[in-house]
Amino acid sequence: MLSGRPGPERSWPGACVEYVSKSQPRSGSPSASAIRHPWPPTPRRAVRPGRGRRGRSGLQPRPMRPADCTRTPTGGPLLRRRSERVRQLPVNPPPTCVADRTRLGRDLTAYGRGVEQVAARLGVHEVDLTDWRWLLGALHAHFDTRSFRDGATFVDVVAEAAGADDDHLHVDLRAGHVRIALRTADVGGVTQQDVLLAERISLLARDRDLTSRPQRVQVMELALDTPVSDSVRPFWAAVLAGHDEGRDVVDPAQGLPSMWFQATDSTAPDRQRFHLDVTVPPEVAGERIAAAVAAGGSVVDDGRSPAFVVLADPDGNTVCICTELGRE
């Protein structure tokens, strides 16, 4: 089966036969001591050294040690060569009857459902990663590096780990740090595939003694308050050379912050047209607000906390400190 909790490895006596040669193998052929066959399930009768006739290969069969032949968590025999390379062989032969083919079809159907679950969009409360924070529908991480070259090497191994899924990666490489964002564009959010890749990246960072600082990740957006967003949005898409995505204008090169348009009923000429939305990790929002107030600002509206809190500078210009919580 393709699902189920893995169990410990169990010895599987009699499942494999190891052939050991007392003579030197021919040049260009694999070492005879590394040749192991998983079938038949019952090993041939062992031949005592010095007795019996040798086969044409010059090999004498003997049962494998239990430590050499074990079952994997999926049920297949795990064969270890002396070079410690591992390969997994199927337990059952290919389906030859209608019943076997029917069972195989059910297994493939279950596998298809599993793939759909991996590609399904997750919610913010479904993800809990030590090094990563959920900001604006993506997973973000910050890793300190010792130099630009050190960061470039780390980015290289991250790209290798991502493989064909590198379109999920968004990397910002600087001299002292690397910031990474993960998001599946096809579903417009975070999937289980992004979570698995995030865990792999965290392991790679720890292997290189890179320090994770998730409290430093943040995303800034520009917000324009307007009663006629559909009329003004094409203008701003042209000015910023961005993509008009209906509610937002997004820079395809990701060099500029996104710009979104907030509906308002006010048509006063002196109203504040633009404000900033700064999205931070939930554990950072409180100290960020306190620092702003200590710097002379004031809290204008906290009725939607923790989703966002509206602050104002001494001149009355507003900004929102946002988190991903409280938006259900």
Give pLDDT tens digits for 185-221: 888 889 999 999 999 999 999 999 999 999 999 999 9
Most confident of 38-47, 248-257, 314-323: 314-323
pLDDT attached to residue 165: 74
Both 182 and 267 in a single domain? no
Number of domains in the chain: 3
pLDDT attached to residue 249: 94
pLDDT attached to residue 237: 94
- Indicate whether 107 pLDDT > 70: no
- Indicate whether 46 pLDDT > 50: no
What's the mean pLDDT in 87-116?
45
What Cα–Cα distance (Å) separates residue 219 from each residue in 22, 216, 258, 321? Answer: 67, 10, 9, 10
Residue 16 pLDDT grade (very low, low, confident, very high; cuts 50, 70, 90):
very low
Higher pLDDT, 245 or 97: 245
Both 179 and 262 in a single domain? no
Does the residue 170 lie in any domain?
yes
Both 227 and 183 in a single domain? no
Please state whether the peptide bond connecting residue 77 to the residue before it is cis, i.e. omega within 30 degrees of 0.
Answer: no
Residue 167 pLDDT grade (very low, low, confident, very high; cuts 50, 70, 90):
confident
Both 145 and 76 in a single domain? no
* Domain end call among 216, 231, 254: 216
0.75 cut: is pTM over it? no
Residue 11 pLDDT grade (very low, low, confident, very high; cuts 50, 70, 90):
very low
Both 240 and 163 in a single domain? no
- Indicate whether 64 pLDDT > 50: no
CATH code of residue 196: 3.30.1360.20
Domain of residue 34: give its range.
Answer: 17-88
pLDDT attached to residue 23: 45
Both 166 and 153 in a single domain? yes
Buried b (16+ CB within 10 A) or exposed e, 35-69: bbebeeeebeeeeeeeeeeeeeeebbbbbbeeebb
User: Tens digits of per-residue pLDDT, 253-264?
Assistant: 888 999 999 888
What's the mean pLDDT in 87-106?
44
* Domain end call among 188, 216, 244: 216
User: Tens digits of per-residue pLDDT, 285-324?
Assistant: 999 999 999 999 999 999 999 999 999 999 999 999 999 9
Render 92-149 in DSSP notation, one character per residue. SPPP-SHHHHHHHHHHHHHHHHHHHHHHSBPPGGG---SS-EEETTEEEEEEE-SSHH
pLDDT attached to residue 121: 81
Both 59 and 48 in a single domain? yes
pLDDT attached to residue 224: 92
User: Tens digits of per-residue pLDDT, 261-292?
Assistant: 988 877 777 777 899 999 999 999 999 999 99
pLDDT attached to residue 117: 55
Does the residue 51 lie in any domain?
yes
Both 206 and 238 in a single domain? no
Residue 125 pLDDT grade (very low, low, confident, very high; cuts 50, 70, 90):
confident
pLDDT attached to residue 160: 92
Both 252 and 305 in a single domain? yes
Angle between helices 192-207 and 148-162 (to 10 degrees): 140
Strands 259-263 and 36-37, bridge-based pairing: unpaired
Does the residue 6 lie in any domain?
no
Both 226 and 299 in a single domain? yes
- Indicate whether 37 pLDDT > 60: no
Higher pLDDT, 210 or 48: 210
Does the residue 55 lie in any domain?
yes
* Domain end call among 194, 216, 238: 216
CATH code of residue 238: 3.10.180.10
How many percent of the chain have pLDDT more than 90?
48
Ranges of H-type helices in 179-281: 192-207, 229-240
Both 79 and 157 in a single domain? no
- Indicate whether 114 pLDDT > 70: no
Does the residue 160 lie in any domain?
yes
Does the residue 109 lie in any domain?
no
Does the residue 268 lie in any domain?
yes
What's the mean pLDDT in 42-50?
48
Does the residue 263 lie in any domain?
yes
Q: What is the mean pLDDT of the chain?
A: 75
Both 280 and 200 in a single domain? no
Residue 15: what residue type? A
pLDDT attached to residue 12: 38
